[in-house]
Amino acid sequence: MTAGVDEVGLVPLLARVRVALVERAGVSRRKATMLVLLSGVFTVSFTITLLVVVLDTVAKDLDSSVSVVSWSITAPMLAFAVIGPAFGKFGDLIGHKRVFVGGLLGAGVFAGLTALAPSAAVLIVLRTLSAACGSATGPTAMAFINRLYEPHDRVRPLGMWSFVTAGAPVIGVVAGVPLVDLVGWRVIFFVQAPLCLIGALTSWWLLRDTEPQPGARFDAAGALTLGGGATLLLVGINRGGAWGWDSPLIVAALGLGLALLYAFVKVERRVASPMVPPQWFRTRNIAFPVLSQSFANFAYMGGFMIVPQMLKDGIGLSLATIGWLIIARPLTFAIAAPIGARVTVRTGERFAGMFGSMTVFTSMIVLSTVRDSTPLWLIAFGLGLSGLGLGVASPALSSLLANAVPDEELGIASAMQQLVSQMGALLGATVMISVHEATIEQGTLTSYGYALIVGAGLCVVAGLLAGEVRSTDRSSSSTPERGVTP
């Protein structure tokens, strides 16, 4: 019986059935693959920041404090950032389909357990494990997307990918209050769990696996030093304001984190299969796009964290009004990403990166001028500029990065981008909050204005870095030269 099944070719037959069903539904395989990938990324990313505006509700339910429960947001964000590179490398080694499906399965299982969490400590651990598994979806989805499209066509689909990766956490915050009020915070994770499992099954059925690299090895020393160093550095930066920058724990975390990152660089220079090839740091269309996105994300996410507090404490707006205003950011991002992709095809990634950075700069300046008499439409306009800027710059610079690395290293390249961008986001939130707290005596709105001006300054740096990249040559459909050294 087994021989008979082998003779007719069961696996090819199932593949043809999948293709026929997809085509019969009126959807091309490439579009169906994009839908599955982006749905999976959205499902795991949406809940990372979902609880940020209802921490007091969760704390009361679990008989804990807001400061403790806030780690159910901070720890998952850290895990999502620092574990991604390891999954990206695994995908490059063993095939991205397995890593993507496994990440969705793990995220779903731990999401279901999160809904049953009896205490704050268990909640934090389960949310962190769920985010750690979910971090596998970002780099693997980007690797799939970059294999589906030719280099000169990647900016359009990467616009959708950028919106999902950057927009899902923002939408999670906006939706947090009404969802928790309507169904409670536990039900949200009960819903997320089956969605992840359905996504895993659909992905296993539809996706075609990427080719693993024969004979390649996993860089365990690089993964440990990068993950440990980034974690300690981010924890030190994140908690420095709360625990005191001269606290022995903070000093030890920052010092050990920097030491481990230095060890990571030394390890990568001597291993045969490095997690992050050292030459990447000397490659124009890798180093500059990644750094530019990180500095732009500093302002984007830093502003995202402080503006709601500024509107609430500074001019006394209600949470409902603030929620409606904040929608301007993901809404403009969603509109700008596909339109910006078309503009990028005509003008080049260099212009898109510079335009996006300076648009976020303008957003920071507009929001820094908010006062009691500022009309709501102007606040929404300022918020919308942030979404417009990142919506144009992010897919363009992501496309440049993808075109600058070999196809077999797309997973780790996108994971590195995810890590550096997340570090920029956490730095932005921490530094801008610290500036506000250090200048609060000069007035609430004034202190928030100073913080936003700091973000504006980093946008200028992002724009200068974007100006150093070289746009993709779209005069032909041939694959451009991989990497350009400064």
In this prediction, residue 306 carries a pLDDT of: 85
CA distance 108 to 390: 29
207: left (phi over 0), alpha (psi -120 to 50) or beta: beta
Fold of 277-474: Growth Hormone; Chain: A; (1.20.1250)
Q: How many helices and strands in the chain, by DSSP H and E?
A: 21, 0
Provide the pLDDT for residue 461.
96
pLDDT at residue number 216? 62
Which helix or strand (DSSP H or E) is residue 297 part of?
helix 284-309
pLDDT at 295: 94
The pLDDT value recorded for residue 456 is 96
Distance CA 114, CA 116 (A): 5
Q: Nearest Cα to 435, choosing from 418, 454, 417, 420?
A: 454
348 φψ region: left (φ > 0), alpha (ψ -120 to 50), beta (else): left
User: Going along 32-178, which residue ranges are E strands?
Assistant: none
Domain definitions of the chain by residue range: 21-209, 220-274, 277-474
208, 229 in Cβ contact below 8 A?
no
* Fold match between domain 21-209 and domain 277-474: yes
The pLDDT of residue 478: 44
Fold of 21-209: Growth Hormone; Chain: A; (1.20.1250)
Residue 473: count of CB within 10 angstroms of its CB: 13
Side-chain-side CA neighbours of 268 within 13 Å: the count stands at 19
pLDDT at 4: 42
The answer to whether residues 432 and 455 touch, using CB atoms and an 8 Å cutoff, is yes
> What do you get for the CA distance between the two ends of the chain, in Å?
61
Residue type for 73, please? I
Give pLDDT, residue 318: 83
Residue 366, pLDDT score: 96
Q: Return the structure tokens found at 17.
A: 């059935």
**pLDDT at 240 (0 to 100):** 77
- Tens place of pLDDT per residue across the chain (486 aa): 444 434 344 445 445 555 554 455 445 778 888 888 988 888 888 777 677 667 778 888 999 887 788 788 778 877 877 787 788 878 877 888 999 999 999 999 999 999 999 999 999 999 999 989 998 888 888 788 877 887 777 777 777 776 776 667 666 666 666 777 777 888 888 888 999 999 999 999 888 877 766 666 777 888 888 888 888 887 887 777 778 888 999 999 999 999 999 998 898 888 877 878 888 888 889 999 999 999 999 998 888 778 888 998 889 888 778 878 887 887 788 778 777 777 787 888 999 999 999 999 999 999 999 998 999 999 999 999 998 998 899 888 888 888 888 877 777 777 778 778 878 887 887 788 888 888 989 999 999 999 999 999 999 999 999 999 998 876 644 444 444 344
d(CA 196, CA 117): 19
